[in-house]
Structure 1
Amino acid sequence: MSALLVTGADLAGAGAQDVLVEDGVIVEIGSIGAKGSRGWDVLDADGLVVLPGLVDLHTHLREPGREDAETIASGSAAAAVGGFTAILAMANTSPVTDTAEAAERILDLGRAAGLVDVVPVGAVTKGLGGDELAELGLMHRSRAGVTVFSDDGRCVHDARVMRRALEYVRAFGGVVSQHAQDPHLAGPQACAHEGELSGRLGLPGWPGIAEESIVARDVMLARHTGSRLHVAHVSTAGTVEVLRWAKAQGVSVTAEVTPHHLVLTTDLLAGYDPTFKVNPPLRPQEDVDALREALADGTIDAVATDHAPHARHDKEHAFVDAAFGMVGLETSLSVVSDVMVRSGRLDWAGVARIMSQNPARIAGLPNHGRALEVGAPANLTLVDPSAEVTVDRGASLSLSRNNPWHGRTLQGAVHATVLRGRVTAQKGALT
């Protein structure tokens, strides 16, 4: 029998206790250390906060097709170091994850890596083309058990197709995660928030209404179909207003925000650094403030990284031509700690809610996001709330270096990650 004793743990801010894990399950919580270690592996958690293992609803792992940017193994390593025990792998690979066989392949590669639970996201439409529904039912009934479907990277812009997708997944409790971006309002070259700065820099503008109009349409479709809608990477105050209205009406809608949209603003584009080119674009401070408020009050349900690694030859171009995206798996907890906890907007129980419990519920992962109690799977994230970390992109376990936090000092860091009782990462390194 394998056993791990976590000593002196502050359980999501509820006070210091010991946690005993046997065969991947929490079997005892309390004052255990005095009984002697009995040959147990011991993890000293004095001064640390213990959360349910983090769950990321939105990760791009690039395999198959772009293993030069990321693989499932390298992305899993970055996730483990970042405190994650489960990540959802988006479907925009090559080939696209739009069949049961493709989804099962992602599942198997994740299991082979063995560092986090890699959960495939299925495409909504074949080849992300936006015209014909993919094999939604077959992917759900496969070994992969796909529950979340998304054409992320592209919007399901045809309202009829979106309606049919919502109706289809309702039958088995699935959810459609929408990349909300009206392609006609955004335009093919849009790459920066539409405003005075984009005009001055000569960058094609991306108006907030391109996001907000799709979210408004989709919440009405969700209400009409009685199905579940999830809004990916919310970026505007206008979208927050739509979400508040929809939730007040009882619409089954959830939403996520990225760490970078909680902090970074459009003024960073002044230097034309393609690291800061992201989809949706960075927005002005008033949008950032609205997103923080919505995350704190529950209008936005979760933080999701939208980890988007790119090889140097795709990112190091003129701003307009560079690929969209930023890496984020290794830094997300620190960003949330720095901007939401240190400011008093959230306590550690709140962090558990937005980075573990709600994401697991949305994704339908019954063995993740569980309360820290006897009988629960021992998926844990140990956080040092007082640690200061200066981000070094060169130290990343991701294969890509498009890290927007390079050189920044953040307060709060992942100390260790435990997947079903096994320590997968500690102090920034795999174990």
Structure 2
Amino acid sequence: MPTQVVVAPPARAAMFVTLTVPPGSERAVRAVLAGVSDLSKSVSFRNPAAGLLVVIGIGSALWDRMIAGVPKPRDLHVFPGAVGATHVAPSTPGDLLVHLRAEHMDQCFEFARLLAQQLGLHATVVDEVHGFKYFDNRDLLGFVDGTANPQDAEAFEAAHVSAERDAAHEGASYVIVQKYVHDMAAWEALPVEEQERVIGRYKLNDVEIPDGAKATDSHVFLTTITDEQGVEHDILRDNMPFGALGDDEYGTYFIGYAGNPLVTEQMITNMFVGKPEGRHDRILDFSTARTGALFYVPTAAFLDGIDDLDLPGAAAAQDDPGDEPAVAGHMTDADLLGPPDRSGADLEVTPNAAIGLDASGGDAPVPGGAPDPEPDDTADTADTADTDDTDDTVAGSIRLGSLRAPRKDPS
């Protein structure tokens, strides 16, 4: 089934569309989401060889407004972001994520166009990125991206929720997305040897620099997460390069799937705050994070039946618009998928209040008196992740000892 397939080989083309849903549109949006599987089949059938894959993610605030009668996913919360001494990982708005992959962009675009027609005024595109595979799986910085991804059974284990972690949502996933924009002139001014030191890999052959010679502020060093038992915890990346000549914008769209999003959040904290604190990922001196959001990715069966679930009180009290969502056929394509609204995503603008972290792990002050997010969406990572007596937070970092049992030795 092409819907909600998380683990898949790299595709040649991708679209990443983030949307917000206004209050009062929850019932209509649910009706559209319940039909996503059929819509993907209709588009796929026109060119089965293109291998269209559709993944829909739901944000924490929208879940609270749209779903009742089902336990909230244990690790679903607003992306906390990270605030380091030099760089900031912003937390930006997002109620829905649409991640599309195919061998040809026309399949991705056609699905997005039809979905936007069905949503009509019930959702607004706030960010839209068209990604492409760049030569031999390299990013625009010239390095192969995704080499460290787990494979086969380990990929499925890393990307999906286990019964041990959250039995009510076994087989689902979480995804964190960030849009990074590169300073290509500054990057290309570096000698290749310095670029390799920043990344932690050799550029030509993609071989990882040995641990003894690897810089402790390199990207590879800081994004390798090992717990107190020495077990390495993986996520599944499906990053894509993107660019726009007229805007002089060149970047990498980071997308990381995980059964436990705290692993991805720890990676981001290491990058921006540092490990030790104050020694940030050197790649951030050349790549700026413009967006950041966390979504829950339900199973295909859950998505197909989402319109049969209970609605929360406020949404249930609204007048039922009928089973068929309105199709905004009178709107132009430009109206439906216009330029993304980047408000709140630029680092020159005050970061979203939901960032909620400073370098010491406490609440960051919000300049300008921006209102705090809803309490149940801003619980710290320890509250979100733990149901036992284990304390997973120490000095603003996440202790990973209880994330997952160590893999057994096959011998």
- Fold match (TM-score > 0.5): no
Query: Which has the bigger relative contact order, CA under 8 A and spacing at least 6?
Result: 2
Q: TM-score, normalising length from structure 2?
A: 0.29
Q: TM-score, normalising length from structure 1?
A: 0.28
